[in-house]
Amino acid sequence: MNFNPYSPTTLFAIYCVSEFLVVRFKFSGKYSETKDRGSLYLLMFIFVASLGLARFVKIHFPQADLESLTHIALPGVLLFFAGLIIRWASIIHLGRFFTIDVAIDAKHTLIDTGPYRYVRHPSYTGLLLQFLGIGICSANILALLALMVPIFIALRYRIGVEEAALSEGLGAAYAEYMRKTKRLFPFVY
């Protein structure tokens, strides 16, 4: 079996290792009360289901394949690794306040520096870029849509849950931060 760095399977394997490390070290078990409302498990399910659906679509709808993988594979890989870097930079910057399930610590403070200076949820921006890179490397427009649409919808739900918890926990400071910054992409959304 040859190693193909442009393969969606290779990128997904890298994604899995990265997320295993996040889950291993960033679960909020130390906090007494989570505000997650099932959003973590929904995200996990949607990520896996979307990847499976994208694979199914790629196999059964080859007419949606893009002409040449060579023209899009490198941008896909670059987007994937840009997303990986943005996600990890965000996680590291939040430090002990980052958890994979939505939880607010009594000592939680607003972080509006580093990547959080530009958007409220840069780790989700990173995730979206990672999945976009995987989708582009599939070289099938329908597979790309099958991957991205459910993931974007699930992340929107998760962001709502997270912002409700942060608004409750941080009050006026978070409301002002929300007013000044976009959710995922500077100047856009």
pLDDT, tens digit, 9 for 90 and up, residues 141-172:
999 999 999 999 999 999 999 999 999 999 99
Question: Is 30 domain-assigned?
Answer: no
Question: Is 133 domain-assigned?
Answer: yes
pLDDT tens for residues 61-77?
A: 999 998 766 677 889 99
Question: Is 25 domain-assigned?
Answer: no
What pTM value is reported for the model? 0.90
65 DSSP β-pair partners: 140
Question: Is 173 domain-assigned?
Answer: yes
Taking Cα atoms as reference points, which of 69, 15, 57 lies closest to residue 144?
57
Question: How far is residue 138 from each of residues 9, 29, 111, 174, 176, measured CA to CA in Å?
Answer: 9, 37, 36, 39, 40
Domain count, the chain: 1
> Tokens 């896996």, residue?
48
The CATH number of whichever domain residue 143 belongs to comes to: 1.20.120.1630
Question: Is 24 domain-assigned?
Answer: no
CA distance 126 to 128: 5
Q: Tell me the one-letter amino acid at 54.
A: A
CA distance 184 to 123: 9
- Give the domain extent around 126: 36-180
Question: Is 55 domain-assigned?
Answer: yes
